[in-house]
Every structure is written in structure tokens, then in C-alpha cells.
Chains A and B, each alone.
Chain A
Amino acid sequence: MSGSNTDWPLWEVFVRSKRGLSHSHAGSLHAPDAAMALRNARDLYTRRGEGVSIWVVPAAAITASSPDEKDPFFEPAADKTYRHPTFYEIPEGVKHL
């Protein structure tokens, strides 16, 4: 092991499954460039027929919310019940909800 892994950027991998409508985060990997990241992702995350499409994104390009900001970000005022779609019934035959 030469430790060259540390020289390679980290990539986040998103896979769209056969039945899925959107890409979901599958994991991450190291690769020297985008083309190789895509190939590595194929080997690591789609070898058992899980996916039909792959996105790779440089991990550095992702802007993430910080754990410190969790409260103001993710705790909306609970008294605003109109924000929650609980006042109507879902008609039969509606898919993908």
C-alpha cells in the first residue's frame, strides 16, 4: 500500500435503481478523476444489478448543513399544522407517494 489513496479526491456516488425515480446516495470512493470514479462506482455499487444510472460528485463540491445548526434548520414550529398535509385524503390510484 503506497498510501496514494490520500492523493485522490473523494467522490460521492448516487445510484438510480431499476424501480427508483431518483438517484439515491450509495456511498463514496476515491478516484483520480470523474471517469475513473464512475467506473469504480460501477464495480463497488452496481455489480448485483442494483442500478441503471450512476452519478458521481466530487465530495468537495457538496455544501452540507452543519450538525451545529441542526435545531434552527430542522425543527419547524410545531403549531403550524397547515404545513403538514394531513387535511385531505389521498385518492386511490395515486402513485409514487
Chain B
Amino acid sequence: MTTSTVPTTAALSLADDALVLSHRLGEWIGHAPVLEEEVALANIALDLLGQARFLYSMVGDEDELAYLREERAFRNVQLVEQPNGDFATTIARQLFFSCYQGLLYGELASTDGELAALAARAVKEVAYHQDHAVQWTLRLGDGTPESRIRMQRALDSLWRYSGELFAPVEGLPVEPAALRERWLETVTTVIRQATLTVPDGSDHTPWAAGAGRQGIHTEPFGRMLAEMQHLHRTHPGASW
């Protein structure tokens, strides 16, 4: 047990969100629709990876936490582990998550806990992630008939993972539920401006509502984790 004042569960939850999303975005490398966008997504992935590393090192050994934990030990929300899908799906996931992360870090930065230092530094990065997602949502929604269909479909299909973002996190000095109203306002404004419709279905999965924070994950996560961890597990302790 750690004797420091670091809220372990809270730090791990935020770190896992960042690491898992970073890995998903990294999967676009070599596959992005255009080179410029590949660089943009990779930059966002690197920002998130930096956040994750900072948080992991507060809690313990980075490599052990990232590469040697089992699926059930990860505390990330299910939204970030969802597969990239088409470009619109990735953008919808970015929109939902970056709007949430921006609000969370903004609040966290003004607390005096250990997490405030990270939040204060990362809030600028996240502002850019959010801007990137907003710009693309507007262009895809108000773009061609095809991009419009895809963007709406992406929003609809990921909507059910958005509710979990506001589930309570043990030890976090910010109450995520308190961010929900502002999140909804921001996301609604963007979706309407993109001439799209705000999804009206359930914002959580009925069979696993908010369970990512408890270690329950969706099926694609296992495969993602296997890919992310196999090298380290095959060659434990290897270095360059």
C-alpha cells in the first residue's frame, strides 16, 4: 500500500482513460485518410500518452501498470476502448471524450490535490483535442451526404457510452456528475451547429452501465490489450 496522498484509484482511472485512447488513436498510424490527419491524431495520442505516464508514475511502475495488468484491473471508461471504426466514429469518440476531459481537468486544476499539477498542464493540450474534434464534427456533419450520414451514425452508436463519463470515481476531488450539464450543453451546441441531431437514446449500456471504472470492459478491449501488451509480455524487461 502506498503511503503517499495520491488517490490511487482516481489516478489510475484517469491514466487508463488516457493510455487506452492513446493506443486507439495510435492505431490510425499508417491508416489515416490523409497524411496531415495522421499527424494530428498521432499528436493527440502522444499528448494522452504523456498524461498517462505522468499519472502512472505517481502510482507505481509505469511499465508494470500499462503492460502487466489484466483486463479487469483497467479502470478506463468503455468509451475510450471502442474500436476506431470509420473516421467519423473516431471523431465522435474524440468529441465526447475531449469535452469531458477538458471540463474535468479544468475543475481538477483548481483543486489542491496531487492531480492538480497534471490537470493544469494538460488542460491546454485537451483544449486542442477538443478543437480538433469540433472542427471535424462540423465539417463531416455539414459536409457531403455521405459524411453526414456517417457522422450521425457515429454519434448515435457511441452515445450509449457517454453516460459512464459521469460515474463517480473514488478519490477524485471532482464530482464527475457535476460536469454533465456543461458537457451536454457543449456537445449539443456542436452537434446542432453541425446540422446533426443529438441522439435521444439511452446514454449508457443497459448490460454494463458505468462498469468500466469497476473493471468490466467490452469485447474489443481484450484484443486491444493483447496487442498492446504482447511485446512486453514476450520479452519481459527488454530494453533498447
Q: Do A and B come from one complex?
A: yes
Give CA–CA (A1, B33) in the complex, Å.
5
Q: Which of A34-84 contact B (CB under 8 A)?
A: 35-36, 39-40, 43-44, 47
Give CA–CA (A44, B39) in the complex, Å.
7
- The interface size of chain B toward A, counting residues with CB under 8 Å, comes to 12
Question: Shortest CB–CB separation between residue A26 and chain B, in angstroms?
Answer: 14
Q: Is there contact, CB below 8 Å, between B131 and A8? A: no
Give CA–CA (A75, B100) in the complex, Å.
61
Question: Shortest CB–CB separation between residue A27 and chain B, in angstroms?
Answer: 11
> Which residues on the A side are within 8 Å of B131 (C-beta)?
39
Task: Judge if B238 is at the interface, Cβ distance under 8 Å.
Answer: no
Q: Is there contact, CB below 8 Å, between B139 and A36? A: yes
> Which residues on the B side are within 8 Å of A5 (C-beta)?
34-35
Task: Judge if B200 is at the interface, Cβ distance under 8 Å.
Answer: no
Give CA–CA (A2, B33) in the complex, Å.
6
Question: Shortest CB–CB separation between residue A32 and chain B, in angstroms?
Answer: 7
Task: Judge if B132 is at the interface, Cβ distance under 8 Å.
Answer: yes
Interface residues on A, range: 10 to 19
Give CA–CA (A40, B35) in the complex, Å.
10
Q: Is there contact, CB below 8 Å, between B34 and A39? A: no
Q: Is there contact, CB below 8 Å, between B135 and A43? A: no
Q: Is there contact, CB below 8 Å, between B43 and A36? A: no
> Which residues on the B side are within 8 Å of A8 (C-beta)?
34
User: Top 8 closest A-B pairs, CB basis?
Assistant: A40-B36, A43-B40, A5-B34, A43-B39, A43-B43, A29-B36, A44-B39, A2-B33
Q: Report 26 cross-chain contacts, Cβ distance below 8 Å, ordered by A residue.
A: A2-B33, A4-B33, A4-B34, A5-B34, A5-B35, A30-B34, A30-B35, A30-B36, A32-B139, A35-B135, A36-B135, A36-B139, A39-B40, A39-B131, A39-B132, A39-B135, A40-B37, A40-B39, A40-B40, A43-B36, A43-B39, A43-B40, A43-B43, A44-B36, A44-B39, A47-B43
* A residues whose Cβ falls under 8 Å from a Cβ of B: 1-2, 4-5, 8, 29-33, 35-36, 39-40, 43-44, 47
* B residues whose Cβ falls under 8 Å from a Cβ of A: 33-37, 39-40, 43, 131-132, 135, 139
